[in-house]
Amino acid sequence: MTDIFALFDQIKSTSAAAAVPITHLVVGLGNPGEEYAQTRHNAGFLCLDTLAEKVGVKVTNLKFKALTADAVLGGKRVLLMKPQTFMNLSGEAVAAAAAFYKIPPQNVLVICDDVSFDVGHVRIRLQGSHGGHNGLKSIEGQLASQSYTRIKVGVGKKPHPDFNLADWVLGRFSAEDLKTLSEVRASVAEALLLLLEGKPDLAMSRYST
């Protein structure tokens, strides 16, 4: 049976958090358009959709060149974002939102694909270089900082070294990989909640491989 008092406390806590300014950005990276919906490069979009579903919001408001939603996570009021600028210009949307809400890079969390890892692997880093990822490169340039959190989701390595990287990341997941990714998406949502609660060590020890 649901604890009605716990439910009231949760509602009260959520209402209180919603009354404060947005302090964090949670950004899923990808490319807009149905033709890219199930591609490897859109792993960030897919993970953000799972997070939004868990907290009961829809990322559909067009703002800052991105689809957005306002949510309360880990006691923080956050803006969920899916930039609509295409991957290599993702930083424009992130920087515009960060400037508007006066959010420092340390409060920006980005979910992106990574071709260095097998499907199902997650790597959390609190700062660091873009590693050649065009979306992260754009964000780093626009924020003039490497001090933002990135959650890297493995989408599988190229089948052989000569395979064109653009063709690989813009290729679609297999049915088996999509099944694996569906489990990873839930883990990423849980890791983000811990990060927003100020528990990065726990998030990394539990979910980062």
pLDDT digits (tens, 9 = 90+) for 69-84: 999 988 899 999 999 9
Whether the predicted pLDDT of 166 surpasses 70: yes
The residues near 184 (Cβ < 8 Å, ≥ 6 apart) are 47, 119, 120, 122, 153, 154
Mean pLDDT of the chain: 88
Length of the chain: 209
pLDDT digits (tens, 9 = 90+) for 114-147: 998 999 899 999 998 887 898 999 999 999 999 9
Nearest alpha-carbon partner for 126 in 153, 101, 108? 108
Got the DSSP string for 148-177? SEEEEEE----SSTTS-HHHHHTSBPPHHH
Whether the predicted pLDDT of 6 surpasses 80: no
Instruction: Give the domains, in start order, of the chain with CATH numbers.
Output: 20-207 (3.40.50.1470)
Nearest alpha-carbon partner for 77 in 28, 24, 26, 27? 24
**pLDDT band with cut points at 50, 70 and 90 for residue 191:** very high
Active site residues: 41
Residue 173: CB atoms within 10 A of its CB come to: 19
For residue 130, report the phi and psi dihedrals to the nearest 5 degrees.
-75, -15
**pLDDT band with cut points at 50, 70 and 90 for residue 18:** low
Residue 68 near residue 9 (C-beta atoms within 8 A): no
